[in-house]
Amino acid sequence: MNNRDFLLLMLAMGAVTYLPRMFPLVMLSRRTLPHWFAEWLELIPAAILSALIAPTLFADSAPRVFTLGKIELLAALPTLLCAVKTRSLAGTVVVGMLCYWGLGLVM
């Protein structure tokens, strides 16, 4: 990606980040979001994170095929456990990296 395309991408990312932050404050300060929409929005972050992770754990990339037993999946189990138990972002990332690295050496 050249510099011009990169900057255009950043401007577009900036716009789609800024507008949801700005619009209700400036425009709709006396109205509230419909309740069903607010409930839908609440579920979106969990859905996106899960959708991002799942193919990394359960599929090969070239060609795209379903697979069980990738190192990524095996390392995800202790990582998940660590996240649930400690609720520490830094700790979880370190545990995940060490498990992935260790499994890579063994397998």
Partner 1 sequence: MEEKIRQGLAAAWPICLGYFPIGLSLGVLAQKGGLAPWQMGAMSLLVFAGGSQFIAVAMLGAGASSLAIVSTVFMVNLRHLLMSSAMAVHFPGVSRRFLTLFAYGLTDESFAVNMTRFNQGGWNRYSALTLNHAANATWIISSVAGVYLGQLVPPGSAGVDYALTGMFICLLVFQLRSPIFTITALIAALCSVLAYLWLPGNAYVIVASCLAATIGLILKRTRRKQEVPA
Q: Between 36 and 107, whose beta carbon lies closer to partner 1?
A: 36
Q: Between 48 and 69, whose beta carbon lies closer to partner 1?
A: 48
Convert residues 30-69 into a mask of x (bound to partner 1 by CB under 8 A) and - (unbound): x-xx--x-xxxxxxxxxxxxxxxxxxxxxx----xxx---
Q: Show the beta-strand stretches assigned E in 1-107.
A: 59-60, 65-66
Count of residues near partner 1 by CB under 8 A? 75
Residue in 2, 4, 26, 62 binding partner 1, rule: CB under 8 A: 26
Strand partners, 65: 60
Query: Which burial class, exposed, middle or buried, applies to 75 when counting CB atoms under 10 A from its CB (0-12, 13-18, 19+)?
Result: buried
* 63 three-class SS: coil
Residue at token pair 């370190």: 94
Q: Which of residues 69-98 bind partner 1 (CB under 8 A)?
A: 72, 75-76, 79-80, 83-84, 87-90, 92-98
Q: Which of residues 5-24 bind partner 1 (CB under 8 A)?
A: 5-14, 16-18, 20-24
Q: Between 43 and 107, whose beta carbon lies closer to partner 1?
A: 43
Alpha carbon of 4 to those of 8, 14, 18, 67: distances in Å?
6, 15, 21, 38
